[in-house]
C-alpha cells in the first residue's frame, strides 16, 4: 500500500491474513466490530510514514500455523472505542510510534520496543507478561496493566506535563534505563510526576529530575515521586539537586 493509498477494513465480518506479508506506507482505517485473523507466517508491516488507525474494540488474533507478527515503524494508534483492542497471540514490535488515545490497547501476544515511542494519550495499555522498552520512550498519564522493563526512557505524565503513570505489575529498570521526573509544584500528579507501581520495583540506571513551568523548589521541599509494593536496588545516578530517600513503599526526593 503506497503513501497515497487507503485501506478501509470495516464491518462486522471476520477478515483473514493468511501466509502473506502486507506492507503499509499509506493509511489503514480499522472500523466496525469485525476482528482480524492471521496465521501461517502472516506479517503486517506498518512502514515508516504509514498510519494504522484502530477505531474499534476488536481483536487481531492467531488462527493457526506460525503465529502472525505486527511490525510498526510508522504510527499505530487506537483513536476510538471505550473498550479493548487486543493483539491475541500476535507478536507486536515497535520502532515507530504507538498511541493509546481511547480505551485499552492490549498486547496479549507480547510487546517489544527497540526505538520510537509508546504514548498513553487518553487511553491505557495492557500486555501479557512484560512490556519491553528496549529503546525509545514510554510516556503519558494513565494505567499500564503489565510488567514493565525499562532500558529506554520512561516519562510519567509526558514531556512538559505533570501526571501519574500507574503500573499494575512490576517495574524493572536496567543500567541503560532512565526515569524522567518533572517538578512544577508541590501537588502530586497535578504539579509533579509520579510513577505508581503495585508490585515490585527493581531500580538501576538514571533518575533525571527537572523542573517545568518556571518552578523553583525551596530547600527542604519534598516530592513523593514513586510508590511501590517492594523495592530492590537504587538509581545509580540522580541528576538534579535533590536527595533521594528510599522508604519501604515509596521514593521521596528532598530539594537541597
Q: What is the pLDDT of residues 141-183, one digit of tens each?
A: 999 999 999 999 999 999 999 999 999 999 999 999 999 999 9
Of the pLDDT bands very low, low, confident and very high (cuts 50, 70, 90), residue 103 is very high
User: Under a CB-based contact definition with an 8 Å cutoff, are residues 38 and 62 in contact?
Assistant: yes
The rounded distance, in Å, linking the Cα atoms of 135 and 117 is 9
Report how far residue 10's alpha carbon sits from residue 139's, in angstroms, rounded to the nearest whole number: 30
Q: What is the pTM of this model?
A: 0.97
What is the rounded distance in angstroms from the CA atom of residue 81 to the CA atom of residue 153? 28
For a pLDDT cut of 70, what percent of the chain falls above it?
100
Q: Which of 92, 61, 69, 71 is nearest to 24 (CA)?
A: 71
Q: Cα–Cα distance between 143 and 134 in angstroms, integer?
A: 20
Cα separation, 182 vs 217, whole angstroms: 12
- Rounded to whole angstroms, the Cα distance separating 15 from 34 reads 7
Going by pLDDT thresholds of 50, 70 and 90, the confidence category of residue 240 is: very high
Instruction: Give tens-digit pLDDT for 189-208.
Output: 999 999 999 999 999 999 99
pLDDT tens digits, 124-149: 999 999 999 999 999 999 999 999 99
Amino acid at each position: 500500500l503506497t503513501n497515497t493509498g487507503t485501506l478501509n477494513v470495516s464491518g462486522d465480518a471476520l477478515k483473514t491474513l493468511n501466509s502473506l506479508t502486507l506492507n503499509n506506507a499509506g493509511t489503514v482505517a480499522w472500523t466496525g466490530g469485525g476482528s482480524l485473523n492471521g496465521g501461517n507466517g502472516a506479517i503486517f508491516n506498518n512502514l515508516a510514514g504509514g498510519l494504522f488507525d484502530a477505531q474499534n474494540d476488536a481483536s487481531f488474533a492467531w488462527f493457526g500455523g506460525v503465529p502472525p507478527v505486527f511490525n510498526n515503524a510508522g504510527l499505530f494508534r487506537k483513536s476510538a472505542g471505550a473498550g479493548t483492542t487486543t493483539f491475541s497471540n500476535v507478536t507486536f514490535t515497535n520502532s515507530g510510534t504507538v498511541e493509546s488515545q481511547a480505551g485499552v490497547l492490549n498486547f496479549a501476544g507480547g510487546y517489544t520496543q527497540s526505538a520510537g515511542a509508546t504514548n498513553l494519550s487518553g487511553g491505557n495499555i495492557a500486555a501479557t507478561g512484560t512490556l519491553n522498552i528496549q529503546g525509545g520512550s514510554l510516556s503519558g498519564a494513565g494505567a499500564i496493566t503489565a510488567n514493565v522493563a525499562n532500558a529506554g526512557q520512561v516519562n510519567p505524565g509526558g514531556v512538559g506535563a505533570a501526571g501519574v503513570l500507574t503500573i499494575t505489575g512490576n517495574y524493572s529498570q536496567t543500567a541503560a534505563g532512565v526515569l524522567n521526573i518533572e517538578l512544577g509544584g508541590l501537588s502530586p500528579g497535578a504539579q509533579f510526576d509520579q510513577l505508581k507501581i503495585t508490585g515490585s520495583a527493581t531500580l538501576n540506571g538514571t533518575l533525571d529530575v527537572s523542573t517545568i513551568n518556571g518552578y523553583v523548589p525551596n530547600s527542604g521541599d519534598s516530592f513523593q515521586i514513586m510508590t511501590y509494593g517492594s523495592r530492590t536496588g537504587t538509581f545509580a545516578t540522580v541528576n538534579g539537586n535533590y536527595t533521594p530517600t528510599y522508604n519501604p513503599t515509596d521514593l521521596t526526593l528532598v530539594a537541597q
